[in-house]
Structure 1
Amino acid sequence: MVRKFTDEPVAEASLQRILRNALKGPSAGFSQGQGFLVLTGEELAKFWEFGASWAPETVTTAPVAIVPLSVKNAYLDRYAKPDKGFAEGDDSWWRVPYWDVDTGMAALLILQTAVDEDLGAVFFGLAPESVERLHSEFGVPQDHDPIGVVALGHGAEAGPSPGSSATKIARREFEDVIRFGRW
């Protein structure tokens, strides 16, 4: 994760590849319940006025922000089709909200493709009080729920930011996290 960016713009070809890869993520029932708001220029400046309240200030130097949006209704509609057979609009049987899981996987594809493109990126949360403003200021449909924000650009730092969690907390050991066959 990169938290400070240069002012070098992101090549359009790189941005297009990143966004196309985001569309290749898994999707329960092939519901495809994601949307992506891509912000640059004046729209991005307007977004940073309220959207970076939970992010380090240096993140606002990124020339691109991508807001992955989860669309629960796409999943409920898909699973009400005859080949799935669940009651229309019923989410009670979903133990896990796959609309959010699948959108998170799409965000991870954005992050991974950014690395492939020699770019830096960071995923951060959007403050709850910013969600309605995102909807109103950028015309985002009400049923599109932001799961976070990916700031994207050319990294201005090598390695973790000084003072970040990555410099203070050791990564958990493989043996502490992974079990084969039985916990």
Structure 2
Amino acid sequence: MLRRRMVRRFDPSVPVEMEVVRDLVALAVRAPSAGFSQGWDFVALLNPQDRAAFWAAADDGGPADAWLRGVSAAPALVLCLSDAGAYLDRYAQADKGWVDRSPDRWPIPYWDTDTAMAAMIILLGAQDAGLGALFFGIPGQRHDAVREAHGIPEDRRLVGVIALGTPAARAAHTGGSPRTRPRRPLGDVLHAGRFGGWSGASA
């Protein structure tokens, strides 16, 4: 956990095998989910044609900057999808007691939250597997294009994407926001009893 960090530059010459991705997703589905609804799906893009289709669909017309050049070199992408319907169906069952499927009962969309927790497990599993990984989002106006490019049903939401691969040599020990933004001290983020109720935790 303490070694994990986001990697933004990858070595495209070192592939990520499907067996590795399968092992990481096998870990991810151990994540908690409300009502054990398990409303998640993962689309692995390992061949160059699929990855090229993703980057073309996700392109918002911005410049091909250093971030894009570094991340688009990743030899594997995993699209993390949430399925709200799985939760609405599950909580309409007798043991949950909601007779309707209204999303208004959900002030927090746990289908997205649970998928994000599963994605975090992939990030941690990648660290254990000796891989670099990055979780990133898709521009809102490009979601439909990405769905179409990869046959994703309209009822699935693109929570984010995980890039996987061997870190580029120059990225092994440099880069990223932690160089310019310090981590918030524990005393600033941990509260006891009420918000702002305790500042006794040290950094």
Deviation at 1:48, TM superposition (A): 1.4
Taking the aligned partners of 1:16 and 1:61, their CA distance within structure 2 comes to 21
Change (3 A) 1:62 1:104: same
Alignment partner of 1:24 out of 30, 35, 58:
30
5 Å-filtered alignment, 1:103-142, equals 103-142=115-154
Partner of 1:86: 98
Matched, 1:158 2:172: yes
Distance in 2 separating the partners of 1:71 and 1:24:
17
Contact 2:59/2:142 (8 A) holds in 1 = no
Change (3 A) 1:59 1:77: same
Q: How many residues align?
A: 181
Asked if 1:34 is matched to 2:40, the reply is yes
> Structure 2 CA distance, aligned partners of 1:160 and 1:16?
29
8 Å CA contact 1:5, 1:154 repeated in 2: yes
- Could you tell me whether the CA contact under 8 Å between 2:10 and 2:71 is conserved in 1? yes
What is the TM-score with the length of structure 1 in the denominator?
0.92
Identity %: 40
Alignment check: 8 A CA contact 2:57 2:149 kept: no
User: What SS is found at the alignment partner of 2:38?
Assistant: coil
Q: Which has the larger radius of gyration?
A: 2
Asked if 1:47 is matched to 2:61, the reply is: no
Residue 64 of structure 1 is aligned with which of 76, 79, 82? 76
Structure 1 residue ranges without an equivalent (≥5) = none
Following TM superposition, by how much is the alpha carbon of 1:160 offset from its aligned partner in structure 2, in angstroms?
4.1
* Deviates further, 44-53 or 34-43: 44-53
1:179 is displaced (CA, Å) by 3.0
CA contact 1:71–1:143 (8 Å) conserved in 2 = yes
1:14 positional shift: 2.1
Deviation at 1:173, TM superposition (A): 0.9
1:95-123 deviation line (CA, Å, top 9, x unaligned): 21100100100110111100010100001
Provide closer, same or farther for how the CA distance between residues 105 and 83 of structure 1 changes in structure 2, counting only shifts above 3 A.
Answer: same
Gaps of 5+ in 2: 1-5, 198-203
